[in-house]
Amino acid sequence: MEPLPATARSLRRNTGDAALNSSNEPGPTTSADDALWSAIGDPTRRRLLDLLLADNGGTATSLGRQLPVTRQAVAKHLGVLDRTGLVRSSSAGRERRYQVDEVQLARAVAQLSAVRSAWETRLQRIRRIAETIQQTSDSDLLRHDQSD
């Protein structure tokens, strides 16, 4: 089994497994949910979340040193994460210091877990249907061979 990324490790450590367990069917989505998924759909923003969790926060400048993008790009990505509530910022001299909002992150993980569970249920149904079709097809072939 692969080790958990820092985001998931921190969430499990700080919120317990309850945030990772959800019902089988996700609830209705909202525009806030869409913005959240759009925000964490970007690999650079996911990496920023991992860095913020590992370093217990940071500035656009400190984070930019760890990524292959400009400080300005980091600031824009942090702005997206801030607008969705995944990070919160505070003034730190001339810069803004960002930290992950772990409650919002836990909400995102819980939603993802619910979606995963719903898809696993759907895939199990598809697998059962495919197996039934295969068994029926095999039985038909066997009957056809025996009648020849």
What confidence category does residue 22 fall into, taking pLDDT thresholds of 50, 70 and 90? very low
**pLDDT, greater one: 107 or 51:** 51
Phi-psi region of 42 (alpha: psi -120 to 50; beta: other; left: phi over 0): beta
Domain boundary assignment for the chain: 6-147
pTM more than 0.75: no
Average pLDDT over residues 108-127: 93
What confidence category does residue 29 fall into, taking pLDDT thresholds of 50, 70 and 90? low
CA distances from 18 to 12, 21, 105, 109 (A): 9, 5, 13, 10
What confidence category does residue 52 fall into, taking pLDDT thresholds of 50, 70 and 90? very high
CA distance 119 to 26: 10
**For the structural domain made of 6-147, what CATH number should be given?**
1.10.10.10
